Amino acid sequence: MPTTFNWTSGLVFIGFFALVTVLGFFAARWKAGDLTQLHEWGLGGRQFGPVISWFLVGGDFYTAYTVIAVPALVYAVGAYGFFALPYTIIVYPFVFAVMPKLWSACQKNNHITAADFVQGIYGGRWFAAAIALTGIIATMPYIALQLVGMQVVIKSLGVTGELPLVVAFVILAVYTYASGLRAPAMIAFVKDIMIYIVVIAAIWLIPSKLGGYASVFDAADHFFTAKGGSTGITLKASQFTAYASLAFGSAMAAFMYPHTLTGVLSSKSAKTIKQNAIALPAYTLLLGLIALLGYMAIAAGVKVTSATDVVPALFLKLFPSWFVGFAAAAIAISALVPAAIMSIGSANLFTRNLWKPLIQPNITPSQEATNAKVVSLAVKLGALVFIIFLPTQFAIDLQLLGGVWILQTFPAVVFSLYTRWLKLPALFIGWLAGIGLGTTLAFMQGIKPIYAVHLGNATYPVYIGVLALGVNIVLTLVLSAVLPARSTSISRSPI
Amino acid sequence: MSSESIPSGKRTAGTLLLLIPYVALLWLPFYNEAHPSLMGFPFFYWYQLLWVPLTSLILYVVYRWVR
């Protein structure tokens, strides 16, 4: 990593950053709506067609942290790091089948969050509040990790200190406050096009400098053979269940997060969501190629002390400085879009499902929107403080636990679309047990996502989120069967 | 979203089609191999990458067919 500021890459970076800042403020007037209404500020007026949604959800789901962390994992362990690929493929049949139903249910009742939807079906306040709290807590460290992505690329430009990060985030916070979801929707266009350019250039040029893909894979193969352990360019048989369950669990969790749901709910129709499920895998192809940057770094002989530096280090080694600046801007802007949508999604949850029902029931619609705007500011400041004052590992651990937790909202959100047979106390207990078990198992492993299940003489490592979800579902079903009929407790139930 | 008007046989067939990528990608013995390689990519990699357009195609077929 360089220690002096490179003017060429630095100026290219600043130029693109300035461009998206202008766009962010300009976005308030785009497809103009009354931004004092929460569905206008927080869902962009529910009017995004297939093209805007494609950029928005793509920009939201494939984050800066992904671009940094996936190649870093592949660089460190090889094939195992590729679970992100099957994960981001099998997520789409799920989105295709389930999300249009959720959209329709939410649009009919002006729901803007998953917790709204759950509250609408089961009544009460406390379970919806629990769903909302799960979403907020799972998302906060995710926002912090976007900052890590930004920090890594800023460092690669030869800039030290936290000031650039603070400036970038304050700008982001202000235009999200002003423009709401319209800001990231507009910036997503720039971000996605830039990332496509960077990745296509990288996968085109880098292998030719390194002697082709065959020699890239060869170099990785030799590297891992020498390294030993559970690494390699194919999986060890003992890694199969971990790989598959991580892919499956992550795919089921992905669209339970407030930021991805916000993206889905901002679509203008259920049909738009189906069309997007067909077209969004284009980003997965991109992600697969981004993952390969980890092997290219090995083949190029890149040595880093922290694996997260691997992508910028590879670019610095092989690209001219103007392109390093462009790539750094692309990754930094990739952090802005999800960070904005995550803070909006969390703010929607806080306002709709915590503040309004528990503290200020007679809040007016415009007070509601103001409340959400302020919360979105607070959420981002929280993430900034988190990253500046706490070890990065803390955010990584929390994000991992967040994935386990958010998955426990799956039965309440998804099953309720198909059946009215489930009972509120059953869902609540299932959720609680899933969170409790998932957290306990994760801590027993020293905050790792995998737990080894012993069946007879065999051992199967499995993603903890999936184990906890299994217990959650079984409890929900059994308790729904044995608890007394719902008619007595519905709608006025205190939970 | 008039799912009620779709014949149930057709809907079941659509659901089964949607499950294919899960089977293809979650059963690792199908593809945890280096050979045959394609354009320098070991089988493990090009097989998974191939499932990206295949999944899009399946979704497209279901979209056109089960509406």
pLDDT means per 10 residues, chain B with 67 residues, are 64 90 96 92 97 97 86
Nearest CA in chain A to B47: A86
Residue B12 in domain: no
| Token pair recorded at residue A94 | 């799920």
Q: What distance in Å separates the CA atoms of residue B39 and residue A12, rounded to the nearest whole number?
A: 35
Chain A hits for B45, CB-CB cut-off 8 Å, are 82, 217, 288, 292
Residue B42 covered by a domain: yes
What's the CA gap between B49 and A288, in Å, rounded?
7
- Domain for residue B31, yes or no? yes
Nearest to A146 by CA among A126, A118, A176, A121: A176
Alpha-carbon Rg for chain B in angstroms? 15
Region of A447 (left: φ > 0; alpha: ψ -120 to 50; beta: rest) is left
Residue-range domains of chain A with CATH: 7-391 (1.20.1730.10)
Is A279 part of the contact surface with chain B (CB cutoff 8 Å)?
yes
Residue B63 lies in a domain: yes
Could A233 and B42 be called an inter-chain contact, meaning their C-beta atoms sit closer than 8 Å? yes
Is the residue at B66 inside a domain? yes
- Residue B63: which domain range? 22-67
pLDDT of residue A3: 57
Among A90, A101, A216, beta carbon nearest to B21:
A90
B41, A100: Cβ pair inside 8 Å? no
**Interface size between A and B, measured as CB pairs under 8 A:** 104
Shortest distance, CA B4 to any CA of chain A (angstroms):
13
The pair of structure tokens assigned to A447 is: 């905050």
pLDDT for A228: 86
pLDDT per residue rounded down to tens, chain A (495 residues): 555 777 888 888 888 888 888 888 887 777 777 888 888 888 888 889 999 999 999 988 888 888 899 999 999 999 999 999 999 999 999 999 999 999 999 999 999 999 999 999 998 899 999 999 999 999 988 888 888 888 888 888 888 778 888 888 888 888 888 888 888 888 888 888 999 999 899 888 898 889 999 999 999 999 999 998 889 999 999 999 999 999 999 999 999 999 999 999 999 999 999 999 999 999 999 999 999 999 999 999 999 988 889 999 999 998 888 898 999 999 988 888 899 999 999 999 999 999 999 998 888 888 989 999 999 999 888 888 888 888 888 888 888 899 999 999 999 999 999 999 999 999 999 999 999 999 999 999 888 899 999 988 889 999 999 999 999 999 999 999 998 875 544 444 444
Cβ contact (<8 Å) for A288 and B52? yes
Is residue A412 within 8 A of residue A429, CB to CB? The reply is no
B17 inside domain:
no
Q: How far apart are CA A184 and CA A197, in angstroms?
A: 19
The predicted pLDDT at position B23 comes to 97
- Tell me, yes or no, if B53 comes closer than 8 A to chain A by beta carbon: yes
A175 in reach of chain B (CB within 8 A): no
Q: What is the pTM of this model?
A: 0.92
Which tokens is A325 given?
């600046």
Find the closest chain A residue to B50 by CA distance. A285
Q: How far is B57 from chain A (nearest CA, A)?
A: 7
Amino acid at A392: T
How many Cβ atoms sit within 10 Å of the Cβ of residue A474?
A: 12
Q: Which of A57, A116, A138 is nearest to A91 (CA)?
A: A57
Please count the structural domains in chain B: 1
For A299, left (φ over 0), alpha (ψ -120 to 50), or beta? alpha
The DSSP element (H or E) to which A252 belongs, if any, is helix A240-254
